[in-house]
Amino acid sequence: MLSSHLSAYVPKVAAPHPARARTLSRPVLGLALCLAGLALAGCQSKGGLGDITGSIGSSQTQPRTPSDWHAESERWGKRYEANRKDRDAAFYYARALRALDQNAQALAVLQSAVLTHTNDRELLGAYGRSLADNGRLKEADEVLSRAHSPERPDWRILSAQGTVADQLGDHQRAQQIYQAALKIAPGEPTVLSNLGLSLALSRQLPEAERVLREAVSNGRGDPRVRQNLVLVLGLQGRFAEAETLAKQDQSPAEAAATIAYLKRSVSQPNSWEMLKTGGARPKAKPAPAQAGAPTPPPQG
């Protein structure tokens, strides 16, 4: 049965109290330089982006502010405390917790909810994404595969599955999953953005650029899609072009710091591994870039 299958995934953590949701604020996310900005696109997750691991959400939904999510957390947390079997309270409370990067608490809420509401695919999808948030990628992959059916596929769940496959290092499979999602939602910028990042991870930079430019053109001005294109342009050594694009969403000083960081990153011998693992992030005040543009990592 589904309930017995899911019980193996349930961590031994206590469900959070609503007051705890107000103690942490969502950190400000910078440019997705590490490709860990892969979005669990279009799902119910962080930032009110229609979803998200890191950045892009549904083009139909405007991003919410941290204060918005704190208010959501407080409102739904009170309702959840009053009745922990309330499906909507669990779903929306966990969504707010994820938006505030309170991932362990969100998982605690969702693990209980999916055991109570065993046939709710939307909850199951949120649970799979929460497992991914907490680094439990293989379990997330398994749960997400059960969150939709071949006769009723969900492009949001497929996109989430793709990001998990990318994080597991299976980029070819991830790209196949994104293509399946695009058959359901042609031109969806969140899926295109994830596909572009996956292609970049597999060093197919020209194709990654092509896909990301399509995502930008369809993305209704979402700066997070443009940031991913900035990354891919920088990986190709096209720093001036990347900086011009970065200035659409950042101040001149911030854009210059972003490009300086990107130049240093791609000049490192282990830059591809660093980008995959998210081991490097820009500092608040990065050091000046060295003179001369370094050669980007080879493709192929």
d(CA 127, CA 109): 9
Contact 143, 6 (CB under 8 A): yes
Q: Write down the residue that tokens 């608040």 correspond to.
A: 284
The three-state (H, E, C) secondary structure of 121-161, written as one string: HHHHHHHHHHHHHCCCHHHHHHHHHCCCECCECCHHHHHHH
Separation CA 231–CA 237 (nearest Å) = 10
pLDDT in tens, the chain (300 residues): 333 333 333 333 333 333 333 322 222 223 443 443 444 333 333 433 233 333 333 334 456 899 999 999 999 999 999 999 999 999 999 999 999 999 999 999 999 999 999 989 999 999 999 999 999 999 999 999 999 888 888 999 999 999 999 999 999 999 999 999 999 999 999 999 999 999 999 999 999 999 999 999 986 768 888 999 999 999 999 999 999 999 999 999 999 999 998 888 887 766 666 556 544 345 444 444 443 333 333 333
| Full set of structural domains in the chain with CATH | 11-277 (1.25.40.10)
Taken in order 239, 244, 248, 249, the sign of the CA dihedral is positive
Structure tokens at 266: 């791609």
Distance CA 48, CA 96 (A): 8
